[in-house]
Amino acid sequence: MANIDWDSLGFDAYRTRTVVFSHYKDGKWSPAQSTETFSFTFDPFAQVFHYAISCFEGLKAFRQKDGGAVIFRPGENAARMARTAGYLGLPVPDADMFVKMCEECIRGNLEFLPPYGHKASLYLRPLLMGMHPQMQLVPYPEAVFAVMCAPAGSYYGEHLKSFSAVIPGNYDRAAPKGSGSYKIGANYASTFKPYKTAHDQGYTELLYLNSGTREFVDEFGSSNFFGIRGNSYITPLSDSVLPSITNKTLQEVAADFGMTVEKRPVPVDELDTFEEAGACGTAVVITPMSHIDMKPVLEEETVSRSFRFVPDGTVGPVCTKLYNRITGIQFGEVEDIHGWCHHVDL
């Protein structure tokens, strides 16, 4: 077991033991191999460096209460990567290969899989990159599919807490009919600078509106949006939003709790009516929001509107209930009635 303080882990790149990878060339994937040096050698003309031909996934493995190891819903991530690879014109690792290489990555880095009881997990990061050296803007069937991992903490410690977000009036995340619903690396490049500005101002998240008319909520820079009003779980329906597996899970759990699930366009004005709101994604399941400010220009001081959900730092009962149910299933403390946990032979 690695000498790690499992209770103070964050969510960071981490040098573990090995990366599992396969090379697609001449119409087939090579047998999966593991790096011994934790490094790759690439042609400097490879598509990935010049034209950002890359996509990735994020999913988690957990050591459960009974000592077993599971990956949470890996088939969903495999399907999403296949859809994104198709969009980029890259060869598609099929679901079986995707899941097997995730399992291989866990086995090759077993000392980094956090033991049960620390609310920590092993974050798996599958990455698919166009490798062909070329200048032309055309797809070419050569790629590397690699799975790496990093131990990740719960972020919250013992208790959930809430954070704030800002709607940046002078930034868009995705063009109408653009790439917003695909998990391509390039979608994230444009968020780095506004994220830094938002963090410097004390906001944790950026909430983007639909770039066509700016009337509706799209999603956060790294997670989906949901709002709670009465017994309803409400989340945006938009072509520019990444189909979050956590959001899909939350919708199913909300329905299990007897809530009404509404997936439809969410007008900005409706933010005023939510009793709770949050961001959802694999990294932390739910980031509850205390309030969301709207700024015409992110870099300037003016806040044109502010939407308040709960007092700073506190968390509403519905977010707490949804979070506890999902993390309970992941750690094997709550019955997995939907069969979301994929068991891994170690």
Ligand X SMILES: Cc1ncc(COP(=O)(O)O)c(C=O)c1O
User: Does residue 154 belong to the site contacting ligand X (CB under 6 A)?
Assistant: no
User: Does residue 236 belong to the site contacting ligand X (CB under 6 A)?
Assistant: no
Residues 206 and 166: beta-carbon distance below 8 Å: yes
User: Does residue 326 belong to the site contacting ligand X (CB under 6 A)?
Assistant: no
User: Does residue 284 belong to the site contacting ligand X (CB under 6 A)?
Assistant: no
CB of 345 to ligand X, least distance (A): 25
Residues 40 and 125: beta-carbon distance below 8 Å: no
CB of 286 to ligand X, least distance (A): 10
Stretch of 29-37, 93-101, 243-251, 306-314 lying at the interface with ligand X (CB under 6 A): 243-251
Residues 73 and 249: beta-carbon distance below 8 Å: yes
From residue 14, alpha-carbon distances to 74, 108, 124 in Å are 21, 15, 11
Q: Is 197 helix (H, G, I), strand (E, B) or coil?
A: helix
Q: How many residues bind ligand X (CB under 6 A)?
A: 12
User: Does residue 242 belong to the site contacting ligand X (CB under 6 A)?
Assistant: yes
Contact with ligand X (CB under 6 A) among 16, 47, 210, 223: 223
Stretch of 64-72, 144-152, 218-226, 327-335 lying at the interface with ligand X (CB under 6 A): 218-226
Contact with ligand X (CB under 6 A) among 54, 58, 123, 344: 58
Contact with ligand X (CB under 6 A) among 244, 287, 327, 330: 244
User: How does strand 217-220 pair with strand 224-229?
Assistant: unpaired
CB of 281 to ligand X, least distance (A): 3
User: How does strand 163-168 pair with strand 28-29?
Assistant: unpaired
User: How does strand 59-63 pair with strand 121-130?
Assistant: antiparallel
Q: What are the two backbone dihedrals, phi and then psi, of residue 29, each rounded to the nearest 5 degrees?
A: -85, 140
CA distance 217 to 5: 38
* Residue whose CB is less far from ligand X, 190 or 201: 190
Stretch of 209-217, 240-248, 306-314, 317-325 lying at the interface with ligand X (CB under 6 A): 240-248
User: Does residue 219 belong to the site contacting ligand X (CB under 6 A)?
Assistant: yes
Q: Which own/partner pairs from 329-334 qualify as long-range (CB within 8 Å, at least 24 positions apart)?
A: 330/60, 330/62, 330/64, 330/70, 330/72, 330/121, 331/62, 331/64, 331/65, 331/116, 331/119, 332/62, 332/64, 332/65, 332/66, 332/68, 332/70, 332/116, 333/65
CB of 181 to ligand X, least distance (A): 9
Contact with ligand X (CB under 6 A) among 18, 162, 181, 246: 246
For this structure, is 183 an active site residue?
A: yes
- For residue 178, give the DSSP letter: S
Q: Catalytic residue among 60, 183, 196, 263, which?
A: 183
User: Does residue 179 belong to the site contacting ligand X (CB under 6 A)?
Assistant: no
* Residue whose CB is less far from ligand X, 154 or 222: 222
CB of 45 to ligand X, least distance (A): 28
Residue 132: CB partners within 8 Å, gap ≥ 6? 46, 47, 140, 141, 142
Within 10 angstroms of residue 84's Cβ, the number of other Cβ atoms is 22
User: Which residues of the shown chain bind ligand X in the complex (CB under 6 A)?
Assistant: 58, 219, 222-224, 242, 244-247, 281-282
Supply the residues annotated as catalytic.
183
